Amino acid sequence: MKWLRDVMNNIPKGRTNAHLTAPSRAADSVRMREAWTPPTRWVLGVATVLSLFSTLQVYRLEVVTARPGMPIYAGKLLVLNFAYWFVPALLLPSIVWVARRFPLDAGNRLRNIAVHATGAMVFAFVRFAGMTGVRFLLWSDSMKAPAVSWWVYAQRNFLLDLDWCLMVYSAIVGASHALAYYHESQERKLKEAQLETRLIEARLKTLEAELHPHFLFNTLHAISTLVHRDPESADRMISRLSDLLRITFDRSGEATVPLNEEIEFLQKYLEIEQTRFQDRLTVRVEVDPEALDAVVPRMILQPLVENAMKHGIAHTVDKGHVQISAGREDDRLWMEVRDNGGGLHGGTLKKLRTGVGLSNTRARLDVLYPGRHRLEFTEMHGGFAVRVEIPFHSAAGATAGASFRAAS
Beta bridge partners of 286: 325
The CATH number of 225-391 is 3.30.565.10
CB 310 within 8 A of CB 268: no
- Rounded to whole angstroms, the Cα distance separating 97 from 109 reads 17
Looking at residue 176, its pLDDT comes to 84
If phi > 0 it is left, if psi is from -120 to 50 it is alpha, else beta; for residue 303 that is alpha
pTM, 2 dp: 0.49
Mean pLDDT by 10 residues, the chain (408 residues): 42 36 39 55 82 82 70 77 84 85 78 87 86 74 56 73 86 85 83 70 58 67 78 82 76 80 88 80 91 90 85 74 92 92 58 65 86 87 87 67 36
- Rounded to whole angstroms, the Cα distance separating 128 from 181 reads 32
Task: Report domain extents, the chain.
Answer: 2-193, 225-391
- Ranges assigned E (strand) in 236-331: 256-258, 281-287, 295-297, 320-329
List % helix, strand, coil for the chain (3-state, nearest 5).
Answer: 65, 10, 25
Q: Which helix or strand (DSSP H or E) is residue 133 part of?
A: helix 109-138
Looking at residue 373, its pLDDT comes to 92
Look at residue 294 and give its three-state secondary structure.
Answer: strand
What is the secondary structure of 163-229 as a DSSP string? Answer: HHHHHHHHHHHHHHHHHHHHHHHHHHHHHHHHHHHHHHHHHHHHHHHHHHHHHHHHHHHHHHTTTTT
Looking at residue 200, its pLDDT comes to 64
Q: Find, among 383, 269, 267, 233, the residue nearest to 320 by Cα.
A: 383
Give the CA angle between residues 378, 380, 385 to the nearest 5°.
Answer: 40
Residue 289 to residues 45, 237, 253, 326, 399: CA-CA distances in angstroms? 55, 30, 26, 9, 11
Q: Find, among 52, 46, 80, the residue nearest to 171 by Cα.
A: 46
Amino acid letter for position 136 = F
Q: Which helix or strand (DSSP H or E) is residue 104 part of?
A: none
- Rounded to whole angstroms, the Cα distance separating 116 from 119 reads 5
Handedness of CA 246, 250, 254, 258 (dihedral sign): negative
Look at residue 293 and give its three-state secondary structure.
Answer: coil
Looking at residue 259, its pLDDT comes to 94
Beta bridge partners of 328: 333
In tens, the pLDDT along 7-55 reads 344 434 433 333 333 333 344 444 444 445 667 788 788 888 888 888 8
Q: Name, in order, each residue with C-beta under 8 angstroms of 331's C-beta and a sequence gap of 6 or more.
A: 391, 392
Looking at residue 331, its pLDDT comes to 92
